[in-house]
Amino acid sequence: GYTAVAEFHYLHNEPGDKGAADAMFAAIVAAARESGIRLTFVPVLYERAGLDEALRTAQQERFARTVDEFIAHYESAGSQAQKSDGDGFRVGIGAHSLRAVTAESLSKIAAVAKADSVPMHIHIAEQQREVDQCLDAHNARPIEWLYDNHDVNENWCLVHATHIDEREIQSITDSGAVVCLCPSTEANLGDGLFPLQNYLEKGGRIAIGSDSHVSINPFEELRWLEYGQRLISQSRNIAAIRRQQTGRSLFEMALDGGALAGGEPGGHIQTDAVADLVVLDDDSPMLVGHTTRSLLDALVFSGFTLPIDRVMVHGRWQVVDGRHIKEQEARQAYAAVATELEFDGGAS
């Protein structure tokens, strides 16, 4: 059901291969075009292991770039995006986190994002440890420090923002920035729960992300989001603040916020909008008996196996009769690669 993705990408290096960053970029663009999904490529700057720590492992060295190398890579990607054939390929800029990027470098890349009017993404306040480290280093919480030092606006996407206080919530909602929530990943990592009810009551915007890909089901992300909030509040229908139906409220907020996070023109069916459509299977037992009023509730809260019949992206049908038009090829290619990899159980 996803029709567009913002790829938060920071695997830039391969030992002994100076062209690895460009090769990875080309592979991501090729994969997006092959699958038919629209891509916002967000290269991510990663300089250090912590606020006062150097890179410590060979794995972290694969992420690292100098800020000048990073900007050159972004500009190269942007140039290719401008030459694309109208398939919806665009670019953004990302900073891994306040922990992994120096204040000087963040200022440089934020200035580039502002000048080019592209989305600016950053992981922030994901875990309590990050908040504590930021308080020790800057005498300010992560979101607090960001807003005190940068002109954050609707082009910014704050990923996670799990541990935020009342003042920080107000800063985000006043700025128009979107918070990208990744409920299945945040649960998998034990990060904590975002203060959704308070945030929505102040008019906050949300998007959802698959992050570590423990789940790639958009409706499961929305279900996790709502159920987590119910557990801590001991009440129901937390997201049904702006609209009566919880499922519809979650779905429409995610559409609006997702389009904003990706710098996308989509999110709505209207004249001159991008032709992205998802057609549901009317014969699915999950949907039988539901009206348009309750349909999205059924998808969010019962959509363990999604009853999707067709998906159109940018005016082209990519899923027909419940199957991607290149599903068999993709399965075979994935199996060939996966059998050569060693999995260590990291997604447990």
Question: pLDDT over 90 for what percent of the chain?
Answer: 76
Rounded Cα distance, 292 and 301, in Å: 15
* Domain range annotation of the chain: 1-117, 119-269, 275-348
Judged against a pLDDT cut of 80, whether residue 18 lies above it is answered with no
The catalytic position among 12, 150, 163, 211 is: 211
Inter-residue contact 119 to 63 (CB < 8 Å): no
Amino acid 345: pLDDT = 59
Q: State the pLDDT at residue 12.
A: 79
Of the listed ranges 26-30, 63-67, 278-282, the one predicted with least confidence: 63-67
User: Is the pLDDT confidence value at 60 over 90?
Assistant: no
pTM: 0.94
pLDDT at position 123: 98
**Model confidence at 85, in pLDDT bands (50, 70, 90)?**
low
Q: Which residues contact 98 (CB under 8 A, 6 or more apart)?
A: 51, 106, 122, 124, 130, 134, 142, 145, 146
The Cα 336–Cα 332 span in angstroms is 6
What tens digit of pLDDT does each residue of 98-123 get? 999 999 999 999 999 999 999 999 99
Mean pLDDT of the chain: 92
Question: Which residue in the list 121, 160, 191, 276 is annotated as catalytic?
Answer: 160
Domain 119-269 grouped into CATH 3.20.20.140: yes
Residue 268 has phi, psi (to 5 degrees) of -145, 155
Contacts of 229 (CB under 8 A, 6+ apart): 193, 196, 197, 238, 239
Residue length of the chain: 348
Mean pLDDT of 193-220: 94
Rounded-to-integer distance, Cα 265 and Cα 259, Å: 6
- Check pLDDT > 60 for residue 52: yes
Maximum C-alpha span of the chain? 60
* 141 vs 242: which has the higher pLDDT: 141
Quick one: average pLDDT of 17-45?
A: 91
Which residue is it, tokens 């001991």?
Answer: 234
Strand partners, 94: 44, 121
77 CB neighbour count, 10 Å cutoff: 25
- pLDDT of 242 higher than 70: no
pLDDT in tens, 209-222: 999 888 989 999 99
pLDDT at 243 over 70: no
Residue bearing the bigger pLDDT, 16 or 320: 320
Task: Provide the pLDDT for residue 347.
Answer: 53
Q: Could you give the C-alpha distances from 174 to 115, 186, 238, 241, 347, in angstroms and in order?
A: 21, 25, 21, 18, 36
Amino acid occupying residue 169: I
Quick one: pLDDT at residue 246?
A: 95
Count other C-beta atoms under 10 Å from residue 76's C-beta.
15
Task: With both helix axes pointing from N to C terminus, report the angle between 128-138 and 142-149 in degrees, rounded to the nearest 10.
Answer: 50
Tokens for 124, please give them: 């922030």
336 has pLDDT over 60: yes
Our answer to whether residue 160 is catalytic in this structure is yes
What is the full DSSP assignment across 162-183?
-S--HHHHHHHHHHT-EEEE-H
Q: According to the model, what pLDDT value does residue 344 have?
A: 65
Cβ pair 165, 194 in contact under 8 A: no
Is 324 noted as a catalytic residue in this protein?
no
* pLDDT at 319 > cutoff 70: yes
